[in-house]
Amino acid sequence: MLIPAQAAGTVILAAISYRYVEFPIRSGALRRIRLRTPRLLAQPRTPFAFAAAAAAVPARARRAHAAGCRDPAAGFSRQALASSQLASKQLVLPPDLAGHTPTTPPARSSGKRKKPDGKHHPALPPIPRSGPILAVGDSVMLGASAALEAALGPELHIDAVVSRQPEQTIARLFAYRAAGSLPRRVIVHIGDNGPVYYADLERLKQALAGVPLVVIVNVRVDTSWQGEVNSELAQAVQGWHEATIADWFDASAGAGTLADGTHTTPAGAQLFAALIARAIRTPRLGGVTTDALAASSYGVVHAPPRGTAHAPSRRSAHAPIGPKLRGGRDQQIDLRGRGRANANTDHSCPS
């Protein structure tokens, strides 16, 4: 019974389709149907209006984004942003003002991590107490630029650019070296916008070879690479007898220091500048310079440091922890064992 019923149904559907669909089409019924265009679309100016509206959407988004960039993290000023724009176009310290060109040629790295050999090294030149100071960094340094200038005076020349990547920082120092503009005192803040590896720091040493005082500022940044960067920086100055770490990770542990987990508050900018000024004036060469006692002077409640800022690296010289990221987005495990999706730090307006 089922098969005859299916056959009958098929015949009936075919007859209906022929009567109401196929036959009217064959007889030209479709020609009598008039398709009317809506009045709005029939207006001659309507297509241009739609095109203008479509073009206005990204332009409006760009203006909104630019408005956000005009009001960045606490501590920024229009003067600082103008300084950043200048630094992005040219070197801020010309050779005639540098007063010193390193005579030591940059040594080529073997790519292998060196260990302290315990051998006697030649006497080091005295720590320079005067002359120009070059500070190269990103938006954290830029946000604290006014405090740095107040702490270090007119000898300071700041080359800080928003969202500067570690490799860009090193390339910038090589540019100063090539131009004969490296002074006797150099400050480097590196690692806010991406991880720093052993090979990067070997290149940094090459760029700064012959500079008698190098202050490297470590990082406090809410990303998965914070601990790795600080560990690598701490190891880099071991045996580097002209360099010291300005321990910003430790100094910034207190409440009231950071506005957004990375950039400084006004009080934090003062502390940032005081730490670097101390590292310039009384550095612990080959080690870490701290200024924890200065925190109370700027209204910062200092807390015990969190995490492991300077724990020895557990990896080999050739095996980085996780994939090498330069502002990408990935899932990594930080040194405290918590998984965290790190956002792209090349946000146009972050570090």
10-residue mean pLDDT series, the chain (351 residues)? 82 85 73 54 58 58 43 58 76 75 55 55 73 96 95 95 95 96 97 97 97 97 95 96 96 94 95 96 92 51 46 38 38 34 43 66
Q: Is residue 290 part of a domain?
A: yes
Q: How far is CA 6 from CA 1, 11, 19, 232, in A?
A: 9, 9, 20, 78
Q: What is the dihedral of CA 145, 288, 224, 159, to 10 degrees?
A: 30
DSSP for 236-280?
Answer: HTTT-TTEEEE-HHHHTTSBTSBSSSSSBPHHHHHHHHHHHHHHH
Helices (H), the chain: 2-17, 23-26, 39-42, 46-69, 78-89, 95-98, 139-143, 145-152, 166-178, 198-207, 226-236, 248-251, 266-281
CA distance 143 to 146: 8
Domain range holding 271?
65-114+124-342
Side chain identity at 9, as an amino acid letter?
G
Q: Is residue 265 part of a domain?
A: yes
Residue with tokens 């036959």: 23
Q: Is residue 278 part of a domain?
A: yes
CA distance 189 to 173: 12
For residue 292, give the nearest of 281, 282, 284, 303 by alpha carbon. Answer: 303
Domain count along the chain: 1
Q: 126 exposed, middle or buried (CB, 10 Å; 0-12, 13-18, 19+)?
A: exposed
Q: Is residue 271 part of a domain?
A: yes
Q: Is residue 88 part of a domain?
A: yes
Q: Is residue 167 part of a domain?
A: yes
The pLDDT assigned to 304 comes to: 46
- Are 243 and 237 in contact, with CB atoms under 8 Å apart? yes
What's the whole-model pTM score? 0.62
Q: Is residue 46 part of a domain?
A: no
For residue 113, give the nearest of 205, 30, 182 by alpha carbon. Answer: 205
Tell me the pairing of strands 213-217 and 185-189: parallel
CA distance 225 to 27: 75
CATH code (residue 334): 3.40.50.1110
How crowded is residue 66: how many other Cβ atoms within 10 Å of its Cβ? 11
The pLDDT assigned to 67 comes to: 40
Q: Is residue 41 part of a domain?
A: no
